[in-house]
Amino acid sequence: MMGATDEEHLAFAMAQQRVIYSQDDDFLRLHAKGVAHAGIVYAHQRVPTSLIIRGLLLIYEVLKPEEMQNHVEFIS
């Protein structure tokens, strides 16, 4: 989906029932506007890769897909 807008990425992920991981603040803005999504996991670019991987694994192990609907989890 190269060249797709952030809204298109969220819509595609929603159709596929997939959570988006991003370091792009624009996804947080879309969430704040009420754009529906299957879930967003966000980390600042300064967060170490090892912490991101641990955070993603923890989210996968603890949260159910329905708990991620229109929800943002932060990794910091």
SS3 57: helix
Please give the single-letter amino acid code of residue 52. Answer: I
Cβ(71)–Cβ(39) under 8 Å?
Answer: yes
The pTM score is: 0.94
Asked if the structure places residue 6 within a domain, the reply is no
Asked if the structure places residue 37 within a domain, the reply is yes
Asked if the structure places residue 26 within a domain, the reply is yes
Domain that holds residue 41: 21-75
Sign of CA dihedral 68, 56, 26, 47: positive
Asked if the structure places residue 4 within a domain, the reply is no
Asked if the structure places residue 1 within a domain, the reply is no
Q: What tens digit of pLDDT does each residue of 18-67 get?
A: 999 999 999 999 999 999 999 999 999 999 999 999 999 999 999 999 99
Asked if the structure places residue 63 within a domain, the reply is yes
pLDDT at residue 33, rounded to an integer? 98
CA gap 30, 42 in Å, rounded = 13
Asked if the structure places residue 8 within a domain, the reply is no
pLDDT at residue 35, rounded to an integer? 97
The number of domains in the chain is: 1
